[in-house]
């Protein structure tokens, strides 16, 4: 066994032992949900500056003292926190993690030591479940997605751990995970998205022991496979030479992989156009990505491209915290991580907020989390349905975003759409709605602006794209090729056209209301 292979296997053995230990603790308290959750809340309140200032010590006092919140309620405090003029938690601050928004409106979520420990309590049983599901993972390397960081965000964000999924692990697991990683994290700092994607592909092909690919959006994994087939000759040349060639300047922070044997394998796995991925990655055993709501069709397509590989969906993770994890064919609440409440979205209890231990099968709810980063009763605005229970632990299915649109992970909010429409209408055009086009894998998804009447000569698809790119995750999705160029549609009567669109997708006319951001099908759009 080569030294590198020995190091990989040894790291997996230690990681698995750690994860199995956490998993035993995870299972042990399946029948003690309320007790566990109250203990977690107590630990969070003990470090919360706001809770301490109000003398809040238990759940009953907690719900009386604090309303449910969204980021806008925290923006001022977080800005002060970033300027070191205020602390929301006594736990040591590690960094601020950005989520969606323009450069001026990025949401910065504080990541404290306590918060990272909470994430670790979810990651460890998830990894234990992965090792159980697919023992082959112990003998190979893993690709945990590393996203390219747009140039426009680098000065704002300034943190080399930002887009590396392995950075969410505790320090010990993180060190070990580096010996099991197929792709170095510094590809995030390539000069452009195309070169970052190319470098990722080169490292994946160079790795003959690749056992797992873990990404968030299945469209990103499909993009990797498609681009590999297009770029296979250039990839082979890099692996043969061990240099980036014409991409050297862009990838100066990343060493090029030198592996002539892998180059030969790539050539031997291809007919010149299509690649036999089973032949290329003989140890590839599992792919993980989103597979619900808007991602379902794309996940199915990904499975079709890799039929020999096991597939697993993702739990519900947000920058603000974790809600569910994939675990033994279920998606249970990560009940040992944060403190969880849920708002009813349907029925006679709509709007009521309850703790996790009062959930029932069939409930359609939105999670509210309180965590060790200092954010209390924070609404995630996702829609979940309770499917079953592991003893007392509720399991969920993700139904989609409560507000806004998320075709491939770009997370556009209605407020973003309204701002876009207002900017367009300053030209004396009449923009009616921003339409998110769900193409159901026929073509790349895209956005489309519906106008009424004449459109100002300064407005075209490129201009709309430029405005939308002010949103961090939209820019990333466009640069990675996950979203296509926006389009424009024009109608003499905007409201009638809008109604026609949404009615074609099955919405009753009496239930239609004008919305700045609306998800519609490609078939619906073709009716205009």
> For residues 213 and 284, is the Cβ–Cβ distance under 8 A?
yes
- Give CA torsion, residues 488, 493, 494, 498, to 10 deg: -100
Predicted local confidence at residue 504, as pLDDT: 78
Q: How far apart are CA 488 and CA 453, in angstroms?
A: 12
| Listed residue (368, 370, 367) closest to 338, CA to CA | 370
Rounded to 5 degrees, what are φ and ψ at 300? -60, -40
In a 3-state reduction of DSSP, which class is residue 468? Answer: helix
Rounded to 5 degrees, what are φ and ψ at 148? -65, 140
In a 3-state reduction of DSSP, which class is residue 71? Answer: helix
Cα torsion 338, 79, 411, 66: sign: positive
Q: How far apart are CA 103 and CA 114, in angstroms?
A: 28
Q: What angle do CA 405, 409, 413 make, to 5 degrees?
A: 35
Rounded to 5 degrees, what are φ and ψ at 414? -55, -35
Residue 385 belongs to what H/E stretch?
strand 382-390
Predicted local confidence at residue 164, as pLDDT: 46
What Rg, from alpha-carbon coordinates, does the chain have?
A: 24
Residue 385 CA from chain centroid, whole number: 19
| Listed residue (445, 406, 398) closest to 223, CA to CA | 445
Task: Report the length, in residues, of the chain.
Answer: 528
Angle between helices 113-133 and 33-47 (to 10 degrees): 150
Q: Any bridge partners for residue 491, and if so which? A: 452
Q: How far apart are CA 164 and CA 142, in angstroms?
A: 13
Rounded to 5 degrees, what are φ and ψ at 443? -145, 180
> For residues 79 and 88, is the Cβ–Cβ distance under 8 A?
no
Q: How far apart are CA 430 and CA 256, in angstroms?
A: 50
| Listed residue (340, 391, 284) closest to 122, CA to CA | 340
Q: Starting from the edge strand earliest in sequence, which strands make up the sheet with 286-289, in order?
A: 141-144, 210-214, 286-289, 310-313
Cα torsion 447, 197, 212, 182: sign: negative
Predicted local confidence at residue 110, as pLDDT: 93
Cα torsion 317, 323, 325, 329: sign: negative
Angle between helices 113-133 and 171-178 (to 10 degrees): 50
Q: Any bridge partners for residue 445, and if so which? A: none
Predicted local confidence at residue 149, as pLDDT: 63
Sketch the domain layout of the chain as residue ranges. 414-525
Burial class (CB in 10 A: 0-12, 13-18, 19+), 138: middle
CB burial string 373-395: b at 16+ within 10 A, e below? bbbbbbbbbbbbbbeebbebbbb
Rounded to 5 degrees, what are φ and ψ at 358? -105, 5
Predicted local confidence at residue 6, as pLDDT: 61
Cα distances from 404 to residues 37, 326, 381, 516, 518, in angstroms, run 30, 25, 9, 10, 8
Predicted local confidence at residue 160, as pLDDT: 42
Cβ neighbours of residue 453 closer than 8 Å, sequence gap 6 or more: 429, 430, 490, 492, 494
Predicted local confidence at residue 507, as pLDDT: 64
And the tokens for 249? 């300047």
Please, how many CA atoms are within 13 Å of residue 416, restricted to the half-sphere of its CB?
29
Reading the chain (528 residues) residue by residue, the pLDDT tens digits are 464 566 666 677 778 888 889 899 999 999 999 999 999 999 999 999 999 999 999 999 999 999 999 998 999 999 999 888 899 999 999 888 877 544 445 788 999 999 999 998 998 999 999 999 999 888 888 898 866 666 555 555 554 444 444 455 554 555 455 556 788 878 877 888 788 889 999 999 999 889 999 988 887 888 899 999 999 999 999 999 999 999 999 898 889 999 999 999 999 999 988 999 999 999 999 999 988 876 777 788 899 999 999 999 988 988 899 999 999 999 999 999 999 999 998 889 999 999 999 999 999 999 999 999 999 999 998 889 999 999 999 999 988 777 778 888 888 888 788 889 989 989 888 898 999 998 877 788 999 999 989 999 999 999 999 999 988 889 888 988 899 999 999 999 887 788 888 877 766 544 566 678 888 888 888 888
And the tokens for 448? 């489309």
């Amino acid at each position: 066994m080569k030294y590198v292979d020995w190091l990989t296997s040894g790291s997996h053995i230690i990681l698995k032992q750690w994860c199995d230990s956490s998993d035993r603790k995870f299972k042990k308290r399946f029948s003690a949900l309320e007790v566990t959750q109250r203990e977690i809340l107590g630990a969070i309140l003990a470090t919360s500056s706001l809770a301490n200032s109000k003398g809040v010590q238990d759940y009953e006092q907690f719900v009386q003292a604090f309303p449910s919140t969204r980021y806008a309620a925290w923006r001022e405090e977080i800005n002060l926190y970033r300027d070191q003029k205020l602390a929301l938690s006594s736990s040591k601050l590690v960094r601020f993690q950005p989520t969606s928004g323009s450069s001026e409106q990025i949401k910065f979520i504080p990541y404290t030591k306590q918060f990272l420990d909470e994430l670790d309590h979810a990651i460890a049983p998830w990894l234990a479940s992965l090792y159980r599901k697919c023992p082959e993972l112990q003998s190979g390397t893993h690709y945990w997605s590393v996203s390219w960081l747009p140039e426009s965000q680098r000065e704002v964000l300034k943190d080399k751990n930002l887009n590396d999924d392995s950075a969410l692990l505790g320090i010990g697991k993180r060190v070990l995970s580096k010996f099991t990683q197929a792709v170095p994290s510094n590809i995030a700092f390539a000069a452009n998205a195309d070169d970052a994607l190319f470098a990722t592909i080169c490292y994946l092909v160079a790795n003959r022991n690749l056992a797992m690919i873990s990404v968030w959006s299945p469209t990103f994994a499909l993009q990797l496979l498609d681009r590999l087939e297009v770029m296979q000759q250039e990839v082979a040349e890099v692996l043969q030479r061990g240099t980036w060639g014409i991409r050297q300047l862009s990838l100066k922070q990343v060493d090029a992989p030198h592996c002539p044997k892998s180059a030969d394998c790539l050539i031997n796995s291809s007919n010149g156009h299509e690649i036999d991925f089973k032949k290329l990655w003989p140890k590839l055993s599992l792919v993980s990505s989103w597979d619900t709501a808007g991602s379902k069709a794309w996940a199915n397509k990904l499975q079709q491209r890799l039929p020999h590989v096991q597939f697993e969906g993702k739990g519900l993770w947000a920058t603000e915290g974790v809600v569910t994890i994939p675990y033994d064919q279920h998606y249970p609440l990560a009940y040992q991580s944060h403190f969880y409440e849920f708002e009813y979205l349907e029925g006679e209890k709509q709007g009521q907020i309850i703790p996790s231990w009062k959930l029932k099968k069939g409930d359609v709810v939105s999670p509210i989390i309180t965590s060790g980063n200092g954010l209390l009763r924070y609404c995630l605005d996702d829609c979940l349905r309770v499917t079953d229970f592991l003893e007392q632990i509720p399991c969920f299915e993700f139904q989609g975003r409560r507000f806004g649109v998320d075709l491939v992970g770009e997370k556009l909010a209605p407020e973003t759409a309204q701002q876009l429409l207002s900017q367009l209408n300053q030209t004396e055009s009449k923009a009616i709605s921003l339409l998110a086009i769900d193409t159901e894998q026929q073509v790349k998804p895209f956005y489309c602006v519906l106008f009424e009447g004449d459109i100002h000569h300064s407005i075209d698809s490129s201009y709309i794209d430029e405005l939308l790119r002010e949103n961090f995750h939209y820019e990333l999705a466009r640069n990675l090729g996950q979203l296509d160029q926006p389009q424009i549609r024009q109608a003499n009567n905007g409201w009638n056209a809008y109604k026609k669109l949404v009615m074609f997708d099955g919405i009753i006319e009496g239930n239609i209301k004008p919305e700045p951001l609306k998800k519609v099908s490609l078939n619906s759009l073709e009716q205009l």
